Structure 1
Amino acid sequence: MITYEFKAKGKLEQYLKIDEAIRICQFIRNKAIIFWMDNPGVKLFEISRSSATLAKEFELASKLNSQARQAATERASFSISRFYENCKSGKPGKKGYPRFQKRNRSVEYKQTGWKLSKDRKSINFTDKNDIGSLKLIGTYDLHYYQTNQIKRVRIIRRSDGYYVQFAIVAERNIDIRPTGKTIGLDVGLSAFYTDSQGNKVENPCYLRKSEKALKRLQRRVSKKKKGSRNRKRAINRLGRKHLKVSRQRKDFAIKMALCVVKYNDFVAFEKLQVRNMVKNHHLAKSISDAAWSQFTEWLEYLGKVYGRIVVGVPPQYTSQNCSNCGAFVKKSLSVRTHVCQCGCFLDRDYNAAINILDKALKQTGYQLASTVGHRSTFNASGEKILCSDLATSVSKIAR
């Protein structure tokens, strides 16, 4: 599935109609949650059927396309099924009980209720909500795909305007060549990540750099009278700045993940419980700004696209154990250098990155042995693997 996004240009009346469609989507989704609460043990497919009943009961809901109503109830079904899965798996902490939406920002159509123009430069929404034709501004060319390949069309409202997304079913044919390289990654705050070769990528700290401007915009919002147009304008400016920071962070995470996956056959990273780590109020802002979860999610996705092996390992003792002899060397978070009795003297993150790679290789049936002056890869039976044969060995792991 490929997602293309375009900026939508229209008139003010059309934007108001889009806002109304988004509110209707939120209304239907919340009604589906109420239906589930009032009918214990109801099946998920019955929740999807409730969209037709809502269209008969409420004139507001009938304005939206039938498949768009189904997509709204599917959002409710997804939150309910996720709640059940968390309960069955015994997930610690909160299980994600379905909540009512208050600030929905999108409406989703399936394969009806919209029509592309012949030049694929505009889209016309044909349901009773009367959004009309919106101009599409972007660099993607939709001529490469047939209309029946477009399975979903979303309208998204953001601080800087409205966007249209196309979810397209298509195969990605990428020329994949083995590189014969393995890498372990240790993410951090001082450096975005440190790899098992000792290389570091600095953390851009986009939120920290924009913090002064964000505080100034926040003060302007607080000074405006509630409900006034000036306050709405100030909120919009603040939202645009936050949106810019989030886009910078996402762009950096994607580029770093793509660079790692392209040039390595085997990638190992540590699976961090970021949700628990941000409970530390002294580090929560820095951890959120680092976007570790976003980076690792893109690593796993791009690994599937490029046919690379991406393995996540538990982070326990990766910083404390010595990568040379395996001895346990206890150190606090403030100690940034690993010093062991065996003579190993390394940067703390570099030591952790080597341990992460070793753990991942063992999980997949391989172990990494250290020798003086160089590091060699061995398989489970103890036979040495040459770098030229590593790509073949990695493909065997995948199978």
Structure 2
Amino acid sequence: MIVLEFKLKGKPQQYRVIDNMIRTAQFIRNKALKYWMENQGVKLSDLYKQCAVIAKEFEWAGKLNSMARQASAERALIAIQRFFANCKAKKPGKKGFPQFKKFSRTVEYKTSGWKLSSDKRHLAFTDGFAAGSFKLVGSRDLHFYAPDEIKRVRVIRRADGYYAQFCINVERVEEALPTGKAIGIDLGLNHFLTDSTGTTVPNPRHLRKSEKGLRIAQRRVSSKKKGSANHRKAINRLARKHLKVSRQRKDFAIKTALCVVKSSDFIAYEDLQVRNMVKNPHLAKSISDAAWSQFSQWLQYLGKVYGKIVVAVAPQYTSQNCSACGNTVKKSLSVRTHACRCGTVLDRDHNAALNILAKALRQAGIDLNTAGHAGINGAIRSLETCNRGDEWQQ
């Protein structure tokens, strides 16, 4: 499944109709959730039937396409299933009991309720709301995909406009030449990442660089009268600045992950528990700004697309143990150099990256002393060869 996104270009009155569609989808989702709360053992088929009842009871709700109503009920069921899964797994802390939505920003259609023009550059909604036709603005081309391959169309409201996402049922597979390299990656705040060859990628710190502009925009919001047009405009300007930071962070994560995947056949990274790490009030902002989780997700996804092996290992003791002799060298977070009595002196993150790679190879069942590792696409010859200092280009 791949997702192609386009910006919707239409008239102001059409955007107001989309707002009504989003509010209706939110209403149906909340109604489905309430029905589950009042009835035990509710299944998806029961929620589908309840959607039909809601459409008859509320005339304006019936304007939304029937499959769009079902998609809203499915969202409620996903929240319910996530709650039960967390309870079954005995997840510590709050289990995420489903909550009613107040500020939804999306409405989702399945295979009906919308129609593409013959040139596939315009999208029209054909349900009772009659939002009309919108021009699709984007660089991707829908001509490569058959209409029956588009399984869902999701409309999203953002600070800078409205977007349509097409969920296409195709498998993305990219060809990449084997490189014969294996690397371990240590994620950090001083450098975004350090690999097992000693190569570092600087931390961009997108939020830190934009903080001054965000503070000014926030003060302007506070100075305006609540409920006024100027207040709404100030909120929108602030939201746009936050949206820009979010997009910068995502773009950096994708490009860095793509570079790592293309340059190596075997990638090992530490499976950080970011949710627990951000509880530290001194490092929470910097950790969130680094977006380690987003980078890890793209690393896993692109590894599957390019047919590379991506392994996540536990981060415990990767910084404390010596990568050469295995002895434990205790050091605080402020100590940035690893110095062992065996004579090994390395940067702390470089030492951790070597430990992460070694742990991942053991986890994958690969003998470090054996040449010709068939488990790494038949291209990795030995750990020494992998770590002799070949650098990948950012």
2:23, 2:373 → 1: CA distance?
57
Cα offset, 1:349, TM superposition = 0.5
Q: Give the Å deviation of 1:393.
A: 6.8
Preserved contact between residue 120 and residue 143 of structure 2 (Cα < 8 Å): yes
What letter matches 2:36 in structure 1?
Answer: W
Tell me by how many angstroms 1:367 deviates: 4.2
Q: 1:49 aligns to what?
A: 49
Q: Secondary structure at the match of 1:210?
A: helix
The whole-number CA distance in structure 2 between the counterparts of 1:185 and 1:173 is 24
TM-score with structure 1 setting the length: 0.93
- The CA distance in 1 between the partners of 2:353 and 2:167, in whole Å, is 37
Provide the residue aligned with 2:356 in structure 1.
Answer: 356
Deviation at 1:245, TM superposition (A): 0.4
Counterpart CA distance in 2 for 1:222 and 1:43 is 46
Distance 1:388 1:367, change over 3 A: closer
1:96 Cα deviation (Å)?
1.4
- AA paired with 1:140? R
Distance 1:393 1:178, change over 3 A: closer
Distance 1:44 1:187 in 2: 41
Whole-angstrom CA distance in 2 between matches of 1:133 and 1:58: 26
Q: What residue in structure 2 maps to residue 223 of structure 1? A: 223
Q: In structure 1, how many angstroms separate the alpha carbons of the residues matched to 2:198 and 2:47?
A: 53
Specify the alignment match of 1:32 in structure 2.
Answer: 32
1:221-248 CA distances to partner (integer Å, 9 max, x unpaired)?
A: 0000000000000000000000000000
Aligned to 2:270: 270
- Matching residue of 1:244: 244
Measured against aligned partners, the alpha-carbon deviations of 1:229-279 in whole angstroms (never above 9, x if no partner) come to 000000000000000000000000000000101111110000111111111
Residue 391 of structure 1, CA deviation: 2.8
Unaligned runs of 5+ in 2: 381-394
For residues 185-211 of structure 1, what are the alpha-carbon distances to aligned partners after superposition, in whole Å with 9 as ceiling and x for unaligned? 000001000000001000000000000
2:120 paired residue number: 120
Q: How does 1:204-219 map to 2 (within 5 A)?
A: 204-219=204-219
What amino acid does structure 2 have at the position aligned with 1:391?
N
CA contact (8 A) 2:180 2:379 kept: no
Counterpart residue number, 1:397 = none
**1:1-399 equivalent positions in 2, closer than 5 A:** 1-368=1-368, 378=369, 384-386=370-372, 391-392=377-378
8 Å Cα contact 2:366/2:373 also seen in 1: no
Higher relative contact order (CA closer than 8 Å, sequence separation 6+)? 2
C-alpha contact 1:179 1:391 (8 A) present in aligned 2: no
2:126 and 2:343 mapped to 1: Cα distance? 72
CA distance, structure 2, for counterparts of residue 363 and residue 387 of structure 1: 14
SS state of the match for residue 123, structure 2? strand
Return the offset for 1:40.
2.2
Aligned 8 A contact 1:48 1:77 in 2: no
| 2:159 partner letter | S
Kept in 1: contact 2:221–2:231 (CA 8 A): yes
Return 142-151 or 248-257, whichever deviates more: 142-151
CA deviation string 1:124-146 (max 9, x = no partner)? 10100121111111111111111
Count how many residue pairs are aligned between Structure 1 and Structure 2. Answer: 380
Cα distance change on mapping 1:75 and 1:390 into 2, 3 Å: closer
Of all paired residues, the percent bearing the same amino acid is: 64
In the alignment, residue 278 of structure 1 is paired with which amino acid?
A: V
Q: Residue by residue, what CA displacement relative to the aligned partner does 1:68-124 show, whole Å, maximum 9, x if unpaired? A: 000000001111111111111222222111111111111000110011111111011
Amino acid at match of 2:6: F
1:262 & 1:80 partners in 2: Cα distance?
A: 39
SS of equivalent residue, structure 1 residue 148:
helix
Superposed CA RMSD: 1.4
TM-score normalized by structure 2?
A: 0.94
Give 2:113's aligned amino acid. Answer: G
Q: Deviations over 1:19-49 (max 9, x none)?
A: 0100011111111111111112222332233
Q: Is the 8 A contact 1:221 1:231 kept in 2?
A: yes
Change (3 A) 1:68 1:385: same
**CA–CA distance in structure 2, aligned partners of residues 102 and 206 of structure 1:** 29
Instruction: For residues 157-188 of structure 1, give each alpha carbon's deviation from its aligned partner in whole angstroms, at most 9, with x where no partner exists.
Output: 00000111111112334223221110100000
Give the Cα–Cα distance (whole angstroms) in 1 for the partners of residues 49 and 198 of structure 2.
56
1-side partners of 2:317 and 2:115: how far apart?
A: 56
Secondary structure of the equivalent of 1:391? Answer: coil
Structure 2 CA distance for aligned equivalents of residues 385 and 96 of structure 1: 49
